[in-house]
Every structure is written in C-alpha cells, then in structure tokens.
Structure 1
Amino acid sequence: MSTATRPAEVAADDPDEPPARRGRWRPGFLLGAVVVLVAAVAGTAVTFATGGHADRSTSTDRRPPSTATVTRQTLVDRETKNGELGYGTPRARDSRLSGTVTWLASGGATVKRGRTLYRIDNDPVVLLYGGLPAYRVLRVDVSGTDVKQFEQNLAALGHTGFTVDEDFTSATADAVRDWQEDLGLPETGQVEPSRIVYAPGEVRVESHGVEVGDTVGAGKVVLSTTGTARLVTCTLDVEDQRLARKGAEVTITLPDGTRSTGKVGTVETVVQTSAAASGQDAQTETKIEVTVTGDDPKVLAGYDKAAVDVGFVASERADVLTVPVAALLTLAEGGYGLQVVEETGTRIVVVRTGLFAAGRVEVSGEGVTEGLTVGMPGD
C-alpha cells in the first residue's frame, strides 16, 4: 500500500523577530519563491482527509501506472486445511463367532445387502442395512425397532408372507427359514446376531485383519470396511469447529491443481490417543472429524487415495463493494484512501475497510460507488 503525505507547510515570519535577523526580501526573489511553492503544490496529486471529508484536489499530470474498478460482489474468506481423499474412515468388523476363517470378501470389493462378508467354519456372516446393531436373538414374540429393521431387510431381499412391523410373528419365522435355506444355514426360524453385520448401505472392503485359515475368537477384527462413495476426510482442531458446519460449501484442490467443490457431510467429535513414550502415559486429544462429499464425483475418481487441500469458509460478506488490496493508500492522517481516476485528473477519497479475502478488500465511504475507476500504484 502506498503512503500519502502532506506538502510541507511554510512558516510565517515572526513579527517579534528583530529586523536585523529577518533581513530584507527582494521583490524578484519573493515572486520566484511563490512560483516554486505553487508549482510544488500543483505537482502533488494527493489529497487528504480533513474533518472526515476528502479534499477533492485534482491533478492531470500524476496519473497512476494502472487502474482497477470498484466491483460489487460476494467476498469469501477461506481457511485451507489438509484433507485425505478416500472412502472415509474405516470401520473394524469384529467376529462374534469362534472358529476358522474359511473365506473373506476380497480387498476393494463392494458388498451389498444380503451378501457375505466372510465365513467362519464355512457358514456366512452377511451384510444387512441399518443403523441399529444386532444385539439379541430375534424369534417369535420378540418386539422392537430391531425387529422392524430386520424385517425391512428381509422384504428387500424378496421374502414375503409377513407384515413389516415391530413384531416377530410365526409368519416372520417362516420367512426367516426361507432366508436361512438360501444361505445354507440351519433353518431355525431364529436370527442370531452373530450372523449379521449392519451398515448404513453397501460397503467396500478396506483391509483384512486375518487371513483365510486363521482361527478367530469373539472380538477379533476380521476385516475393515468403508462406504463406497469417495469422500474427503479432514481432522480439525477443536478451535476450528466453527468451520465445520454441516451442509457448508467448500473447495477441494487435488494434487494436480484441479479444483472442485463439495459440501460438509458429517461432523463428529473424536478422541485420538497417541502412543505412550517410555515411562509416560498415553496422551489423548479431542479433534473434530469432518467428511466432505464432492459435488462432481468424476473429478475425484482419478485418485484412489490422495492428500488434498480443503477450503472452508471462515467469513463471508454478500453484495459488498471491493477493490484489489493493492489499490489502498495509507493516509498520513491514519486510515485508508483510494485514488479516484477521472478524465480531469485524480483525487483521493477516504474509505472504510471491511473483510480482506482473496486479494481483495471490502470498502465503503462517501463517493465510493460500483464501477468507479481507482489507481493501482506501481512497483
């Protein structure tokens, strides 16, 4: 930013000064001094704020090397955070059975409703859709939301003859026997929780915790899964939680510089535990985990995993007047001004500044209007 300064003031003669010290002014010399002073003032293309108003002096011989235009727009200030493009945070799937692992869905495979995730002693553990974990045996005369969730899956898999509600009836048991027959399980008419893994939708196998042939017990991680949609995951400090508003728009910058847009999906508070150093306790830290869904999945499809930059909106000002930050002049009296460029010359107007973002600044003040041409100082 350029600095505007006042021309030096000329002190008046002191009437109390002795004549010997003041000396004599010759008329020719006096005229020359006045001409020099006028020329100096006329050559100064800067005006200053006095009493809150801009002195509108003009000059036609001190134009700026370039100009810019006052623009009306929405000004957005973004904070950039590191993110990871992938399929979201993996979810470990523990076995609730004891036995030998005889089959595993392959890494990267997509598993849909009713399909097998893995086999223990050659009996399947299948995926169903829902948010409530399987926690008890479902049989005749059992009622609850978990019954309805299971019956919804049973109906979606094509089984009929029962009513989808919260009551497990004999008709439900008959449909369960048909389902068990299709899976090659004993036809008991009861649903064991160890045979079901619930997820919100289809899953992608991220990694294996065991190999085929391993012996597992209850609580052993067999494999980990993610969703199938490509997501960006960001881990924020707690003080940055204000950035993570569900549904907020963000920008995504890929490693090759390609930019896309997305929206904040889930926002969760997580506790991370760091490994304990020798003789010290493990350290825990609270973080904000944010998932971002891209608006254009095709843009994200070129990467399996990648580090990306995510631009969160920190501040936003709609329908404001803005200029390039470099157009601001720092006034000697304090504050900022703009050099307005007109056909007859230039003048300085005082402005108030607001939000600074993306190389521009919000400005307002008397005489500041959209389309106004302002000077841009040289290097």
Structure 2
Amino acid sequence: MSTHPVVRIAGVAAVGLLLGGGLVAALWQPWAGAGSSPEAPRQTAVAERTTLSAHLILNASLEYSAPTVLVGVGGTLTRLPQPGEVVGVGQALYEVDGHAVVAFRGARPLWRSVESGMSDGPDVQQVEQNLADLGFGDGLTIDNTFTAATERAIRAWQKAAGRERSGVIEQADVVMVSAPAVRINAISALVGASAAGPVLSYTEPGIHGRMKVTAAQLTQLAPGMAVTVRLPSGVETPATIAALDPEGVATTDPAKTTTPTARVEFPDQSLLEGLGLPALRVTVGTGGAENALVVPVTALVALAGGGYGVEIVDAASPPANSPDSSPASASVPAGSRSRTVPVEIGLIADSRVQITAGDLHEGDRVVVPG
C-alpha cells in the first residue's frame, strides 16, 4: 500500500534546465483539475544503471552573412559581375572606363591616391598589407609611411596584373572589402551608368545556419559547442555553434519582439553546394550521466506535499508470469504490496529520468502506466 499521497504523472516536458550546477527537469504537474477517469493498467519496469545522454533537437535555416553595400568613386561602369560570383582579394570586382577595379581587403575605403610624397596614414598601411599578402612584400615594412619599398611593391603588382607600372594606386583602382573573398549578393547599378554611388552588395561566401531558440534553450548552448546537422539527403555532418545572440535578428519593425538565435558554422562548405537555403535539423548534446540509476519518466508520481516519488513493488511479490527472472516490464500481480518513496531527479532523456537520491536501488521494480 502506498504511504504518500500521490498523483500519477501521465506526461512530462523533457526539457533539461541548468540549476545550481546540476541538471534537473521541468515536469508537468497534472494534479490541478485532475479528473476521476479509470486508472490505467498497472505495469512495472526495472530501475537500472546505464549511460544517459540528453539531446536538444532544433531547426536551423541556412543563410549568408548580412550584405555589405560597395560604393564606387566615379567613371563609367563597363563591366559588372554576376550575383553569386565569388571574387577573391587581388581579383577584379568590376570594371570602370575599361579598367579593372581590384578587391583589396581593408576597413577603410581609399580617399586619396597612394603615391610617393603623400603624408602618413592608415590607408598606406592597408595597401602595403595587401601587397604583402599578394606576394609583393619583399623589403617592405608594413606601416603608415609610403617609402621607396612601397613604390617598388606597387610597380611589381602592376606588372603582374598587366597594368601600367606607374607606382601609384589611384583611388578608383582598388576597392576595399571586409573578407579574403566575397560573394556578389546583388547588383545596384547598370553597365554604362556612373560608378559614383552604390555599385553592388556582397556577403562572405560561406553559408551558415541560424537557429531560433527559446530563452530556456539558450541557457543550454555555448559558443564552440559541437552539433550534428542532418542534410536533406539524410547525410549527417558535424558543425559548431559559433555565436549566440540573445536579442535575436533585427526586424524592420523596431517594436517587434525578436527571439534569441544561435549561429552554426560548417567546416565543410562543399556539403552545402547546390542545396539552396533549406531548413535543417540540428542535434545538440546538452548533457549526460554515466552509471546513472534510471527509470521510465512515466514512473514518476507527484507528491501532494511537493516533489516527486516512485511507487516500488515489494521484492517479495515477483511478477506472476516470471517467478525466476526480472523482465524489463511486467504486470503487477494481484495482491502485491507497494510503497511510494520520495526521490530527487536529474537528467531526462529518451523518455527516462535519472534518480539522484531516494530509497530506490538498481533492480527495484517501479509502477508505470500500462
């Protein structure tokens, strides 16, 4: 006979929460408004020790980085790239007055010609860094000062590119981008139009995933956490949570509430080629416990005084259909006695719950709904 007033738990919310350094579970408490429906058949399950692993299943939408608008400085556009084209540093992004405008990497656009006699400035250092990265840095000191070595490096670059060896980089010769390579996102101008204004927008070439998560899920994630992503083909590939954004993605309506998001990076971009931008399933391992004492989560009962318990069938009354063994599940024999003991719970995963404290032992039989 049970010694604690209880309510049998018929369902749980299997969401692990971090509390006080340990994993606990938030369980549905159905005693509010419980009816008097007939009790389900009583079955038992064995408390056992095993390794328990918890996983969080989320959806991720594939996307490119936010686009950056590139602004030209003048002249007539004579060639433009195609959306989707990838252009690396040192390559031509578009053409003005029949001359290639080359992508250099830097945070500041050029605001003057880079040439002998100019005053010191960060634009000099940007150009020198690009020349060195492209293989023209012999004898070059990368700093804010234009020197004879800077001019020699410019001439060497111009020769390799088939340009006039003037030793001067004009403001319209190069355009600064923010990455080693960029993907053309959209074209803002027309061939034959002026290049003085927005010409195109670009993104980083890599595709990443964006997951919308709840505030509770956010607490279970961390940058650098490994995840597994299932592709539409069924192939599973490893990925990494690169960043968390508690404020979510900005919307066009400032008053609209946004949800937290997490960014997923893929080490093997080749697997994403030709996929488009579908939604993918992401599996996150959020915790685990080795040698855990576990029972089916439906074995938990809510105690009237608070907390949870399990109903244990007396060992002296083995299941009638198996006198010499302990099957994983069996019916409660007629006339069996049982007792309800309070327990503390830990990790919930795969419809099982870890018992961290209480008078329950491996091999004990607990009552579960039939």
Counterpart of 1:361 in structure 2 is 353
Instruction: Name which one, 1 or 2, has greater alpha-carbon Rg.
Output: 1
Deviation at 1:4, TM superposition (A): 5.7
Which residue, out of 159, 184, 201, partners 1:205?
Answer: 184
Counterpart of 2:91 in structure 1 is 115
Output one character per residue of 1:166-188: Cα deviation in whole Å (capped at 9) or x when no partner: 13212211221332344455544
Provide the rounded CA distance (Å) in 2 between the counterparts of 1:118 and 1:261: 37
Counterpart of 2:80 in structure 1 is 104
SS, match of residue 164 in structure 1:
coil
- Root-mean-square deviation (Å): 4.0
Identity within the alignment, %: 28
Provide the rounded CA distance (Å) in 2 between the counterparts of 1:291 and 1:196: 29
Which residue, out of 301, 309, 317, partners 1:337?
Answer: 309
What pairs with 1:278-289 in structure 2 (closer than 5 Å)?
none
Counterpart of 1:303 in structure 2 is 275
SS, match of residue 377 in structure 1:
strand
SS, match of residue 196 in structure 1:
strand
SS, match of residue 124 in structure 2:
helix
Q: Does 1:215 align with 2:193?
A: yes
Provide the rounded CA distance (Å) in 1 between the counterparts of 2:214 and 2:194: 38
Counterpart of 2:225 in structure 1 is 248
Instruction: Confirm or deny: 8 A CA contact 2:342 2:359 kept in the other structure.
Output: no
Counterpart code for 1:228:
P
Counterpart of 1:326 in structure 2 is 298
Counterpart code for 1:250:
V
Output one character per residue of 1:270-292: Cα deviation in whole Å (capped at 9) or x when no partner: 873527xxxxxx75766766431
Show structure 1 runs of 5+ residues with no match: 8-61, 276-281
Provide the rounded CA distance (Å) in 1 between the counterparts of 2:158 and 2:347: 64
Counterpart of 2:34 in structure 1 is none
Task: Normalising by structure 2, report the TM-score.
Answer: 0.66
SS, match of residue 358 in structure 2:
coil
Q: Does 1:133 align with 2:124?
A: no
Instruction: Confirm or deny: 8 A CA contact 1:246 1:267 kept in the other structure.
Output: yes
Provide the rounded CA distance (Å) in 2 between the counterparts of 1:190 and 1:208: 29
Which residue, out of 141, 151, 156, partners 1:173?
Answer: 151
Bigger fraction of residues in helix: 1
SS, match of residue 124 in structure 1:
strand
Counterpart code for 1:354:
G
Which residue, out of 197, 204, 225, partners 2:202?
Answer: 225
Provide the rounded CA distance (Å) in 2 between the counterparts of 1:286 and 1:191: 45
Instruction: Confirm or deny: 8 A CA contact 2:76 2:96 kept in the other structure.
Output: yes
How many corresponding residue pairs?
309
Instruction: Confirm or deny: 8 A CA contact 1:128 1:153 kept in the other structure.
Output: yes
Counterpart of 2:52 in structure 1 is 73
Counterparts in 2 of 1:106 and 1:214: CA distance versus 1, 3 Å? same
Counterparts in 2 of 1:249 and 1:126: CA distance versus 1, 3 Å? same
Instruction: Confirm or deny: 8 A CA contact 1:66 1:378 kept in the other structure.
Output: no
Counterparts in 2 of 1:184 and 1:304: CA distance versus 1, 3 Å? same
Moved more, 165-174 or 96-105: 96-105
Instruction: Confirm or deny: 8 A CA contact 2:42 2:369 kept in the other structure.
Output: no
Provide the rounded CA distance (Å) in 1 between the counterparts of 2:218 and 2:258: 11
Deviation at 1:365, TM superposition (A): 1.8
Counterpart of 2:265 in structure 1 is 293
